[in-house]
Amino acid sequence: MRVAKIILITGMLLQGLKAFSAAGGDIPVTNIWINIKPVFGNQPLVLEEKEYINQHGDTLKVDRFRFYLSSIELVYTNGTVYSENNSYHLVDAEEKASLNINLTEVPVGEVSSIRFTIGVDSLKSMSGAFGGDLDPSYGMYWAWNSGYIYAKLEGRSKKCKTHGNGFEFHVGGFSGAENAIRTLELKVNDTPTGSPTNIISIQADVLRWFEGISLAEKNSIVIPGKEAVKLANAYSNMFKIVDNNEK
Amino acid sequence: MKSNRFIPLLTLTAFIGIIFPSFKGDGERTGKNPIIKVDVPKGWPKPVHDFEKNPVTAQGFELGRKLFFDPVLSGDSTISCASCHLPYTNFTHVDHALSHGIGGLKGTRNTLAIMNVAWNKSFMWDGGVNNIEVQPLAPLESKVEMHSSLNTVLPRLKRSAWYVQKFKMAFGQQTEITGQLFLKALSQYMLALQTSNSKYDKVMRKEKGVSFTEAEARGLELFRKNCSSCHAEPLFTNNSFENNGLEPDAFLKDGGRIKITHKESDSLKFRVPSLRNIELSYPYMHDGRFRNLQMVLFHYNDDVHQTINLSEKLKKPMGLTEQNKNDIIAFLKTLTDMDFLRNPEFTYKPEITK
C-alpha cells in the first residue's frame, strides 16, 4: 500500500507532472524501475565463487543465472492496466545493468500489483530473428529446435558426476503440454516499508529451482518437455516483492 | 552503382522468363538498396514467408550471399554454408550420403537442398527449425558442421571493414553488426533462391515449342497417381512429415521428427522434401542411402518396410512395372531447372574483404 502511494507521489514530484494524451484526458506519467535482486535462500547470489547448500543438502556453486522477463504490466487499484510496449528483458545475474528495468511513461497512480511473464511468447519464438534483448546471440536461443530458452541456471556440485561436476538447466518450450511459459502476478501493496522511490524490488531466489530436483539424480535438463515444465513450475515461485533496501 | 548489379539478370528475365528477381517500383529502383521482389508464379500458393514485413533487398541479398560462401562462419574458418550446399547441384552436397563438416566430422543426415524456401513451413529433416531467419543457427552451432556460434562469428565480422560497410549498406548507416542482422542477411539470400523454370514449369505454362516426351507424359500420369499425395505440385512437397518405409538404420538410430515433438506418433517420420532438381541432388533420403533414382523407385515399389507410423499412402503396393518406373524417372528429370542451377547471381563472387 505504501509503495503504491509512493509511486504516485514521487512520480508527480520527479516528473513534474509530465503528461501525455490519453483517452479521457491528459494523465501524468512517470518513470519506474524494476529492480531484480538475485539471491540464494537468504543470501545474495554471488556467481562462481560462493558455495550454497540447497534443500536436499547438496553443496553447489552457481555460474550462470539468466531469464527472460517479458510482457510487464502494472495493475492499478482503479482497475486500469499499464502494459509496456515490446516488453522483453533479458535478466542476467552477471550483467548488473540488466537487473534494473526502466519503465518509461508509466501513468501515475496507485499500483496494486505487477504482472509479468517468465519466458518469451510463442509468436515471437516462431517469427524469425529479433534484435535487442531477443537477439539470438545471447545464448538464450535453441538452434536445432527453434525457440527461446526462457531461463537458464548453470553451476557445479560434487553431487554431479559430470565433467567439471557441472549441472545445466535450460528451460523453454511452448507446444501443448510442453509449454513452459509462466505468467505471474505479485501484489505490490503487500510490500514492506521502502524508501521513497519509484522502485519495485523483486527478489529472484535460485534456491526455489531445486524444489523436486536432486543434483545427484539430475544434472542436465536442456530440452523442452516434462522435466522443463516441472522446473518452470518450481522457479515460478522464486519471485517475491521485497523492501528496496533489503539486500 | 551496386543497384545495377541485377540489371543484366533483368534482361535475362525478359528473355527466358526467370521470375527472380525484378524490382518493385521505379521509386525504389533508383535507391541504393532496392527491394527485390520475389514473385509468386501463377498457380503457386502464397509464400509462407511474409515478404511485405521482411523484404529481400539488393544489398541484403548480396551480403547474405557473401556470408553464405564465407568459411569465417565456422569455428576454425574452414567450412562455409556452401561447403555442403553447392549452388550447381541444387544447393545440396552432391554424391555425399552424409556430409563432412569441421575437422572432417560426419553428420547423421543428408544435406537438404535450399530452394523455394519461402514456401517452407519448417526446416530441417525433423522440422525443428520454424523460421528461415533462424535456420542458419542450426548448422552454425552443430559440433559436426560449423562448430561455431554467433558470438564466434560476430566479432570476426566486426573486425572486417568490408563487412562493417556492407551491413550499413544493407541495413542503414547506423547499423551495428548484430546476430539479428547477420541472420536476416543470410535469410534474404536464401529466400531469393527460387526455382520455377524447369521443363515441367514451361509445359505447365504452355510455352511454345515445349512439350513432354511420351515417356515423360506417362511418367507425370503415374506420378500423380502414386507420388503426388505427398510430393504435391507445384512445389512437389506438401510440407508434411511421413515415415516412407525405409528400413531403420541400426547405426544412426534416427527417429526423425519425434526428436522435436516427443510424440510416439512422429517416430520415424521425416520431412517430405521437394523433388525439384532431384536429378542433380543425389544421393536420396534423409540419410542419403540411395545413390540414384532407380533405387528410390525400387524402394517405393518393392521394398517398403512395415514399421511404426508407416504412411497410409504407402500401405498399398504401387505395382509399378519397370517401364512405369523408367517413365516416372523421365518425368522427374523434367523438374531440372538449369536457369536456377546456373544462375550467376546465386554463386560465389570474389570480393576484396580484407
CA distance B78 to chain A (A): 21
pTM for this prediction: 0.86
CA distance A222 to A142: 9
Q: What are phi and psi of A198, to 5 degrees?
A: -100, 35
Average pLDDT, rounded, for chain B:
90
pLDDT above 60 (res A6): no
Nearest 10 degrees: CA dihedral of A149, A150, A154, A159?
Answer: -100
| Average pLDDT score over residue span B154-172 | 96
E-state strands within chain A? 19-22, 25-40, 43-44, 52-53, 59-76, 81-83, 88-92, 100-107, 111-118, 141-142, 147-156, 166-172, 182-187, 199-205, 220-221, 239-242
CA distance B346 to chain A (A): 23
The shortest CB-CB distance from B178 to any of A128, A135, A225 is to: A135
The shortest CB-CB distance from A146 to any of B131, B149, B154 is to: B131
The reported pLDDT for the residue numbered B351 is: 66
The reported pLDDT for the residue numbered B292 is: 97
Q: Are B210 and B199 in contact (CB under 8 A)?
A: yes
The reported pLDDT for the residue numbered B25 is: 36
The shortest CB-CB distance from A127 to any of B131, B140, B259 is to: B131
Global ipTM: 0.82
pLDDT above 90 (res B7): no
| Average pLDDT score over residue span B254-262 | 96
Query: A136 and B129 in contact by Cβ < 8 A?
Result: no
Q: Are B240 and B230 in contact (CB under 8 A)?
A: yes
Pairing of strands A220-221, A166-172: parallel
pLDDT above 60 (res A103): yes
On chain A, the residues whose CB falls within 8 A of the CB of B134 are 128-129, 136, 141, 143, 146
pLDDT above 70 (res A18): no
CB < 8 Å from B in window 140-179 of A: 141, 143-147, 175, 178
The reported pLDDT for the residue numbered A246 is: 61
The shortest CB-CB distance from A126 to any of B131, B140, B151 is to: B131
Span of A16-30, A33-47, A130-144 with lowest mean pLDDT = A16-30
CA distance A176 to chain B (A): 10
CA distance B22 to A106: 46
pLDDT tier at B37 (50, 70, 90 boundaries)?
confident
Which percentage of chain B shows pLDDT scores above 90?
A: 83
The reported pLDDT for the residue numbered B266 is: 97
Query: A145 and B260 in contact by Cβ < 8 A?
Result: yes
The answer to whether A139 faces chain B, any CB pair under 8 Å, is yes
pLDDT tier at A25 (50, 70, 90 boundaries)?
low
Beta bridge partner(s), residue A118: A69, A182
Q: Are A4 and A112 in contact (CB under 8 A)?
A: yes
Pairs of CB atoms within 8 A across A/B: 73
The reported pLDDT for the residue numbered A13 is: 44
Cell numbers found for residue B67 = 556470408
3-state secondary structure B41-105: CCCCCCCCCCCCCCCEEHHHHHHHHHHHCCHHHCCCCCCCHHHHCEHHHCCECCCCCCCECHHHC
Helix (H, G, I), strand (E, B) or coil at A174: coil
Q: Are A114 and A186 in contact (CB under 8 A)?
A: yes
Cell numbers found for residue B195 = 526455382
Q: Which residue has the cell 566479432?
A: B155
* Amino acid symbol at A202: I
Query: B138 and A135 in contact by Cβ < 8 A?
Result: no
pLDDT tier at B352 (50, 70, 90 boundaries)?
low
Query: A144 and B151 in contact by Cβ < 8 A?
Result: no
| Average pLDDT score over residue span B209-213 | 97
Span of A225-229, B99-103, B252-256 with lowest mean pLDDT = B99-103
The shortest CB-CB distance from B179 to any of A125, A127, A136 is to: A136
The answer to whether A131 faces chain B, any CB pair under 8 Å, is yes
The reported pLDDT for the residue numbered A197 is: 59
Span of A35-39, B22-26, B276-280 with lowest mean pLDDT = B22-26
The reported pLDDT for the residue numbered A165 is: 96
B37: left (phi over 0), alpha (psi -120 to 50) or beta: beta
Closest residue in A to B149 (Cα–Cα): A137
Query: B179 and A129 in contact by Cβ < 8 A?
Result: yes
CA distance B40 to chain A (A): 21
Identify the H or E element spanning B2. none
pLDDT above 80 (res B14): no
pLDDT tier at B189 (50, 70, 90 boundaries)?
very high
What confidence tens digit (pLDDT) does each residue in A202-223 have?
999 999 999 978 999 999 999 9
The reported pLDDT for the residue numbered B298 is: 97
Give which of A202, A207, A185 is closest to A242, Cα–Cα: A202
Query: B129 and A126 in contact by Cβ < 8 A?
Result: no
On chain B, the residues whose CB falls within 8 A of the CB of A147 are 130
Q: Are A29 and A106 in contact (CB under 8 A)?
A: yes
CA distance A235 to chain B (A): 23
CA distance B230 to B226: 9
The answer to whether A86 faces chain B, any CB pair under 8 Å, is no
Closest residue in A to B153 (Cα–Cα): A137
The shortest CB-CB distance from B128 to any of A131, A135, A144 is to: A144
- Angle, vertex CA B328, rays to CA B323 and CA B331, nearest 5: 125
| Average pLDDT score over residue span B67-86 | 95
Count of other CB atoms within 10 angstroms of residue A49: 8
Cell numbers found for residue B82 = 556452401
What confidence tens digit (pLDDT) does each residue in A122-147 have?
999 999 999 999 999 999 999 999 99
* Amino acid symbol at B239: N
What confidence tens digit (pLDDT) does each residue in B110-137 have?
999 999 999 999 999 999 999 999 999 9
* Amino acid symbol at B60: G
CA distance A209 to B247: 43
pLDDT above 60 (res B319): yes
Q: Are B137 and B183 in contact (CB under 8 A)?
A: yes
Pairing of strands B35-37, B56-57: antiparallel
